[in-house]
Amino acid sequence: MFAVPPTEPKHDVKEQPRKRDSIQTQERILLAAQAEFARKGYDGARVDAIIDRAKISKNLLYHHFGSKEDLYIRVLERTYETLRRRQGDVPLAGLDPVEAMRRLCESTFQVFIDEPDIIVMLNTENLHRGKHISKSPIIRALYNRLSDTIRSILDEGVRQGVFRPNVDTVELYISMSALGYFYLSNRFTLSLLFERDLKAPQNLVHRKAHIVDMVLSYLTNGAPKGSWTPQAPSSPPAEAPEETKP
């Protein structure tokens, strides 16, 4: 008797299109949710508004995300993933440590400029005292990798004799990030107080160079020859934000 060959498993030709549709639906929901959370915060955001933005049913939203909090945590994860991905897009391997640190400083500031929702989302989560971030192991893992990257740059700088030893990687990143984060998160009030449009392109260029100057001056125990920071450009006084104009 001839052996009967095993039956080939049947593949549902509709499976892949369904999977693609599911991914696209999730992406649409997340984009709508990010816009709503960024505008109104966690407490002010409404699921019905997210549904309207995404043009889906409430059942479909809860099919992909079990609750408003689950959806918010996933948006937070995307926020941090965007920040880390943009930093990771900058090629640092093979660079001398001073140049690698300069690029890391610049990319950290640039992502805050390009992705303003990041600042809003982080501000909102700090109002909640990190309650939702504490429920996400993904975000913690992202920052473990960042710490490793900074440590490798610092170690190479110490080995070459260009960086001071015993620099705390966490303290350094907090300072580097804060130099850009505070500038942008408070740009409306600071622009009015100092009569300088902080969001003007020439001032953003100056601020980026100033961040590099501050970090490298600290790491190298004083600025190297020349100046890392160009002279601050003159700019017209800042206008009041739209909502405060008569």
Q: What is the pLDDT of residues 109-147, one digit of tens each?
A: 999 999 888 898 888 888 888 889 888 888 888 887 888
Classify the C-alpha dihedral 168-169-171-176 as positive or negative.
positive
Q: What is the pLDDT of residues 155-174, one digit of tens each?
A: 999 999 999 999 999 999 99
- Do 107 and 172 contact (CB within 8 A), yes or no? no
Say yes or no to pLDDT of 190 above 90: yes
Label residue 246 by pLDDT band (50, 70, 90).
very low
Q: Which CATH code for domain 20-66?
A: 1.10.10.60
Please tell me the number of Cα atoms within 13 Å of 16 on its side-chain side. 2
For CATH 1.10.10.60, list the domain ranges present in the chain. Answer: 20-66
Locus of tokens 């804060």? 178
Q: Which CATH code for domain 74-244?
A: 1.10.357.10
Q: Which residues contact 75 (CB under 8 A, 6 or more apart)?
A: 30, 33, 34, 37, 121
Q: Which residue has the higher pLDDT, 143 or 175?
A: 175
Q: Model's pTM, two decimal places?
A: 0.73
- Do 115 and 86 contact (CB within 8 A), yes or no? yes
- Closest to 28 in 3D by CA, of 63, 57, 46, 53: 53
Q: Which residue has the higher pLDDT, 141 or 153?
A: 153
For CATH 1.10.357.10, list the domain ranges present in the chain. Answer: 74-244
List the Cα angle 166/172/173 in 5-degree steps: 140
* SS3 label, residue 237: coil
| DSSP conformation letters of 97-157 | HHHHHHHHHHHHHHHHHH-HHHHHHHHHHHHTTTTTGGG-HHHHHHHHHHHHHHHHHHHHH
Stretch 8-16: mean pLDDT, rounded?
Answer: 54
- Closest to 45 in 3D by CA, of 106, 144, 121: 121
Please give the Cα distance from 174 to 13 (Å, whole number): 50
Please give the Cα distance from 172 to 187 (Å, whole number): 23
Label residue 12 by pLDDT band (50, 70, 90).
low
Number of separate helices (H) and strands (E) present in the chain: 10, 0
Say yes or no to pLDDT of 198 above 70: yes
- How many residues in the chain? 246
Q: Which of 29-38, 57-66, 232-241 has the lowest mean pLDDT?
A: 232-241
- Closest to 34 in 3D by CA, of 16, 54, 7, 19: 54
Q: What is the pLDDT of residues 96-113, one digit of tens each?
A: 999 999 999 999 999 999
* SS3 label, residue 203: helix
